[in-house]
Chain A
Amino acid sequence: MHKIRVVIAKPGLDGHDRGAKVIARALRDAGMEVIYTGLRQTPEQIVAAALQEDADAIGLSILSGAHMHICPRVMELLREKGLQDVLVVVGGIIPDVDIPKLNEIGIKGIFLPGTPMQEIVDFLTRNVRSRVET
């Protein structure tokens, strides 16, 4: 069984990267291959990284409120590149009203402040594996 490969990205202008870095490290400690893009990535750059790294999943860290612009664009670009199998999860500050909208565009893993790291590890493991097997 190959190691799960995850791209962790910070889109938008925000520089608060504590969460992204802690999660990147937790996923790595859980045995995944983690590619951290660094700051201020456009959706185009994030999808290009996923393609180049042959990623199983993308984790977007967004705290600034720009998620309703960034997430749909990432999903659209993934479809264009034929990468719809890549699992996309989002962590950060997401108002309740936006959660169903993100679910609708195919983002099921939405992790709000206070989520245990293990829950994110488990979610990725379960959902990436089921995609690979089907």
Chain B
Amino acid sequence: MKTAAPGPSASKERRGSLTTISGRPIHQLYTPADIAALDYERDLGDPGVFPYTRGIHPTGYRGRLWTMRQFAGFGTPEETNARYKQLLKAGGTGLSVAFDLPTLMGRDPDHELSLGEVGKCGVNVTSLADMETLFDGIDLAAITTSMTINSPASMIFAMYLVVAEKQGASWDHLSGTIQNDILKEFIAQKEYIYPPRPSMRLITDVFAFCAERVPRWNTISVSGYHIREAGATAAQELAFTLRDGVEYVQYGVDTGLDVDGFAPRLSFFFNSHSDFFEEIAKYRAARRIWAHVMRDRFKAKNPRSWQLRFHTQTAGVSLTAQQPYNNVVRTALQAMAAVLGGTQSLHTNSLDEALALPTEAAATLALRTQQIIAHETGVTNIVDPLGGSYFVEKLTSDLEEETLAYFDTIDRMGGMVAAIEEGYPQREVAESAYRFQQAVEQRDKIIVGVNDFVAAEDEPIGTLYIDESAAERQLAKLDELRKTRDNGRVRAALDALKEGARGSANTMPLLVDAVRAYATVGEMCDALRDVWGEYEETPII
């Protein structure tokens, strides 16, 4: 009797779930049948051609490599300025500012909630004086800067503009990005100040201001990174981020802006997690979905409005405190996924980030990881090398389909602001986070060094320790500032800001005036708190 030829067989598969990190079941094999519905011209297109599934540039990285942009900031502006100069010297090609929690929350160092937080998670910037120190000796006309700042984005951006002006750099030529994405704060990172609707106004004010005055600035970085870190699946990251993008465009259009006047300056920010192919598919799907949204839903005419540009950061949440050197390997693989997905810029995490902010040596190694991918692996010689893979194309289409289903649900709720007010994305993310943790507890998902391959004892590594001296120095400087500046001018500027916020004036020029008078972040944010109040969420577990 003839036995069947050895072929794909379930009995030979490993036990445990054969799913992605997001819980997506993966088949044993993908074949032409999985991509039978795809039409090359319609659904993929060559790189640089609508719908940009294969990339927004015809030449990929053959023309220009991605920007190696390492997020950094700690302690005082003096200390961070020194780190920036070191990163630029090591071959970093752009700056990325990490602010501390008081700055991110619009509080001065002397506020009661700032106790113990000054300079801990990033650099403390209280006033224009700190911003001048932060960029001292760095030519803002020659570099691009990304600033991770959201609720007080307008205030910090105004400071950057004034520093540039003092350096003699024209706003016309200034380039960089402010994160300025409040919706993901409500969904995931929770660094909100004002309720959603006035928060959206601050953002559309920046769109309008930059379209006229700072035309090369990226006015927003619509971020999935934090949504993913909070526990979302790959599909949820993609869906909520892109639907946030839709909301911003809709608000811009609703305030009377021409879609092609501001949409080319929108950018995105995604996570690169550990599930290699699912991440690559996510970036490809993102480009295809966005191209259709902008052309078909918003009737944008300018191809630059259709093109999704994005920054990527490797997944901080995947890093482990146990056996920290393993994190170098995780980060390298995640970075490779981002590159194969066609990212425009990249931050690679340092090996010590589950323990503390990175040391200089750890930050340099993280940058070297990118340089090795760029210059030694050869992956930059070809555009979208995985295009046409039955598996990757199928994953790309599946992620697109799941995203569009989320779009329908959120549209039915009345948009993302309404969905957030109902707690919908917050619940979805919390649910996924809990499900993943259970999978780890049950060892359905293995994390090397944590729930398997555990070492008896970890060799300790040296970490950066931020003491209280940064807080003391920032407090002393604030004290001095309040004594030496023209306080009458500060009061007048803050009053004008409140008046503008009550009406419909664009808040940006008013903030630039307040910054020139050396008003602090806390004072400017408080002025708007007086007008708009503060948001408080209903905690969901």
Instruction: Please indicate whether A and B come from the same complex rather than being unrelated chains.
Output: yes
B-contacting residues of A (Cβ < 8 Å)?
12-18, 21-22, 24-26, 28, 34, 36-40, 42, 64-70, 93, 95-97, 112-114, 116-118
Contact call A64/B121, Cβ cutoff below 8 A = yes
Please give me the 9 A-B residue pairs with the lowest Cβ-Cβ distance, nearest first: A15-B190, A69-B116, A66-B116, A38-B539, A65-B120, A13-B101, A113-B321, A24-B541, A114-B450
| Sampled A-B contacts (7; CB under 8 Å) | A15-B190, A26-B437, A28-B541, A39-B190, A66-B117, A67-B116, A95-B465
Chain B residues with a Cβ closer than 8 Å to the other chain, count: 46
Binds A, one of B83-91, B106-114, B523-531: B106-114
CB distance from B464 to the nearest CB of A (A): 9
CB distance from B433 to the nearest CB of A (A): 5
Contact call B321/A112, Cβ cutoff below 8 A = yes
A41's nearest neighbour on chain B, judged by CB, is B113
B161 within 8 Å of A by Cβ? no
Residues in A whose Cβ lies below 8 Å from that of B536: 38
Contact call B541/A66, Cβ cutoff below 8 A = no
Q: A13-B117, A39-B539, A69-B115 are in contact. List 17 more A-B contacts (CB 8 A).
A: A13-B105, A15-B192, A17-B190, A18-B231, A18-B317, A26-B434, A36-B539, A38-B539, A64-B101, A65-B116, A66-B117, A66-B120, A96-B460, A97-B465, A113-B354, A114-B322, A117-B441
A22, B445: Cα distance in complex, Å? 17
A55, B192: Cα distance in complex, Å? 29
A25-B434, A38-B539, A116-B451 known; A13-B441 Cβ under 8 A: no
Residues in B whose Cβ lies below 8 Å from that of A96: 460
A18, B232: Cα distance in complex, Å? 10
Complex interface residues of chain B between 213 and 259 (CB less than 8 A to chain A): 229-231
A39, B534: Cα distance in complex, Å? 13
A64, B437: Cα distance in complex, Å? 22
A17, B187: Cα distance in complex, Å? 11
A25-B434, A26-B437, A117-B441 known; A95-B113 Cβ under 8 A: no
A93-B355, A113-B320 known; A34-B541 Cβ under 8 A: yes
CB distance from A121 to the nearest CB of B (A): 11
B105's nearest neighbour on chain A, judged by CB, is A13
Residues in B whose Cβ lies below 8 Å from that of A66: 115-117, 120
Contact call A15/B113, Cβ cutoff below 8 A = no
Number of A-B contacts (CB under 8 A): 103
Per-residue CB proximity of B442-477 to A under 8 Å, as 1/0? 000001001100000000100101100000000000
Residues in B whose Cβ lies below 8 Å from that of A114: 320-322, 447, 450
Consensus secondary structure, chain B interface: loop
A25-B541, A93-B354 known; A12-B189 Cβ under 8 A: no
A57, B536: Cα distance in complex, Å? 25
Contact call B113/A40, Cβ cutoff below 8 A = yes
Residues in A whose Cβ lies below 8 Å from that of B114: 13
Residues in A whose Cβ lies below 8 Å from that of B522: none
Residues in A whose Cβ lies below 8 Å from that of B437: 22, 26, 117
A64, B120: Cα distance in complex, Å? 7
Residues in B whose Cβ lies below 8 Å from that of A25: 430, 434, 541
Contact call B117/A39, Cβ cutoff below 8 A = no
B356 within 8 Å of A by Cβ? yes
Contact call B441/A42, Cβ cutoff below 8 A = no
CB distance from B311 to the nearest CB of A (A): 20
Contact call B101/A95, Cβ cutoff below 8 A = no
Per-residue CB proximity of B93-108 to A under 8 Å, as 1/0? 0000000011011010
Complex interface residues of chain B between 509 and 541 (CB less than 8 A to chain A): 536-541
B499 within 8 Å of A by Cβ? no
Contact call A12/B117, Cβ cutoff below 8 A = yes
CB distance from A97 to the nearest CB of B (A): 7
A114, B453: Cα distance in complex, Å? 13
A15-B190, A18-B231, A22-B433 known; A65-B466 Cβ under 8 A: yes
Contact call B537/A39, Cβ cutoff below 8 A = yes
CB distance from A115 to the nearest CB of B (A): 9
B185's nearest neighbour on chain A, judged by CB, is A15
B191 within 8 Å of A by Cβ? yes
Residues in A whose Cβ lies below 8 Å from that of B441: 116-118
CB distance from B99 to the nearest CB of A (A): 11
Residues in B whose Cβ lies below 8 Å from that of A22: 231, 433-434, 437
Residues in B whose Cβ lies below 8 Å from that of A28: 541
A16-B189, A118-B441 known; A65-B355 Cβ under 8 A: no
Contact call B190/A70, Cβ cutoff below 8 A = no
Residues in B whose Cβ lies below 8 Å from that of A18: 229-231, 317, 433
Complex interface residues of chain B between 480 and 518 (CB less than 8 A to chain A): none
CB distance from A126 to the nearest CB of B (A): 19
Contact call A12/B541, Cβ cutoff below 8 A = no
Per-residue CB proximity of B133-174 to A under 8 Å, as 1/0? 000000000000000000000000000000000000000000
A93, B319: Cα distance in complex, Å? 13
Contact call A42/B354, Cβ cutoff below 8 A = no
A27's nearest neighbour on chain B, judged by CB, is B541
Residues in A whose Cβ lies below 8 Å from that of B460: 96
Contact call A37/B539, Cβ cutoff below 8 A = yes
Residues in B whose Cβ lies below 8 Å from that of A36: 539, 541
A64-B121, A95-B465 known; A70-B541 Cβ under 8 A: no
Residues in A whose Cβ lies below 8 Å from that of B230: 16-18
A75, B207: Cα distance in complex, Å? 47
Contact call B189/A15, Cβ cutoff below 8 A = yes
Contact call B113/A12, Cβ cutoff below 8 A = yes
A13, B320: Cα distance in complex, Å? 24
Residues in A whose Cβ lies below 8 Å from that of B463: 95
A14, B104: Cα distance in complex, Å? 10
The listed residue with most B CB atoms (<10 A of its CB), out of A69, A114, A118, is A114
CB distance from B468 to the nearest CB of A (A): 9
CB distance from A19 to the nearest CB of B (A): 9
A114, B189: Cα distance in complex, Å? 20
A18, B102: Cα distance in complex, Å? 20
CB distance from B196 to the nearest CB of A (A): 15
